[in-house]
């Protein structure tokens, strides 16, 4: 089955106002920047975004925040975005901060078809407020619900026309988990090859999880915080 679409604008064409989106990436590494730019052009609003972080002011999800397209942000780290901070403190943006491992596990549960998982992360903190707690072998665990995302938007290094995905090094991060979890999964990639050219042992996400794939036109690949050693 050929799942190739003609660019980012076609890939996100039916994302409506009020949709819940998963967006892969960690910091600015492995983010679906072509799809984010297309969402900005489309002007879709009232989005709920599930992502490890909220990008920076002028890149990544920060571009959606700048245009006030995001209603709610579900993330584990948001420290690099001044516009995010402004909207949070002014009450313009609803925010759910969750432990990073819980974020990953709730994605994984959705991909595996499990409605919920128990985790010790957050027990005894504000994270536990209003949630069921159970004891297992004398230890307390929180009940955390699997995410329900209308779309998962991920970035891969290479794919074939059937949607099999290969991620590269640290850009893998949250992308495989989210690719499994969306009702509709969209993948933007750097290289697109015919079906059968990928070594099956190198595939990280099978094409059964992916509904649309396209080759991105540009990848800026910014470094969020560049740290270098002084010359000796």
pLDDT digits (tens, 9 = 90+) for 175-227: 999 999 999 999 999 999 999 999 999 999 999 999 999 999 878 777 777 78
Residues in the chain: 232
Question: CB neighbours of 13 closer than 8 A, spacing ≥ 6?
Answer: 42
Split at pLDDT 50, 70, 90, the class of 115 is: very high
Instruction: Tell me if 138 is assigned to some domain.
Output: no
CA 214 to centroid of chain Cα atoms: 17
Instruction: Tell me if 133 is assigned to some domain.
Output: no
Q: Does position 114 have pLDDT exceeding 80, yes or no?
A: yes
**Largest Cα–Cα distance of the chain, in whole Å?**
56
Instruction: Tell me if 227 is assigned to some domain.
Output: no
Instruction: Tell me if 69 is assigned to some domain.
Output: yes
**Rounded mean pLDDT, 162-167:** 96
Instruction: Tell me if 177 is assigned to some domain.
Output: yes
Confidence (pLDDT) at 117: 96
Question: Distances in Å between the alpha carbon of 150 and those of 12, 20, 49?
Answer: 12, 5, 11
| Number of C-beta neighbours around residue 112 at 10 A | 11
Lowest mean pLDDT among 20-24, 79-83, 174-178, 205-209: 79-83
Instruction: Tell me if 128 is assigned to some domain.
Output: no
Residues of the domain holding 56: 8-113+147-215
**Rounded mean pLDDT, 92-101:** 93
Residue 58 belongs to domain with CATH number: 3.40.1080.10
Instruction: Tell me if 98 is assigned to some domain.
Output: yes
Confidence (pLDDT) at 106: 96
Confidence (pLDDT) at 87: 92
**Rounded mean pLDDT, 52-71:** 92
Instruction: Tell me if 224 is assigned to some domain.
Output: no
Overall number of domains in the chain: 1
């Amino acid at each position: 089955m050929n799942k190739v679409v003609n660019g980012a604008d076609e890939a996100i064409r039916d994302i409506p106002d009020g949709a819940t989106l998963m967006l892969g990436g960690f910091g600015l590494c492995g983010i679906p920047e072509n799809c984010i730019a297309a969402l900005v052009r489309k002007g879709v609003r009232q989005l709920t975004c599930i992502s490890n972080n909220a990008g920076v002011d002028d890149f990544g999800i920060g571009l959606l925040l700048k245009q006030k397209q995001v209603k709610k942000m579900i993330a584990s780290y948001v420290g690099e975005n001044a516009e995010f901070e402004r909207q949070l403190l002014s009450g313009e943006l609803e925010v759910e901060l969750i432990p990073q491992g819980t974020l990953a596990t709730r994605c994984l549960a959705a991909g595996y078809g499990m409605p919920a998982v128990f985790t010790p992360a957050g027990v005894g903190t504000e994270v536990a407020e209003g949630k069921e707690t159970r004891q297992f072998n004398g230890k307390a665990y929180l009940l955390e619900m699997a995410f329900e995302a209308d779309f998962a938007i991920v970035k891969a290094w290479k794919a074939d026309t059937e949607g099999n995905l290969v991620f590269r090094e640290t850009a893998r991060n949250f992308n495989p988990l989210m690719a499994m979890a969306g009702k509709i999964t969209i993948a933007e990639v750097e290289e697109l090859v015919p079906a059968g050219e990928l070594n099956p042992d190198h595939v990280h996400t099978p094409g059964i999880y992916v509904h649309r794939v396209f080759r991105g036109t540009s990848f800026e690949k910014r470094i969020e915080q560049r740290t270098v050693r002084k010359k000796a």
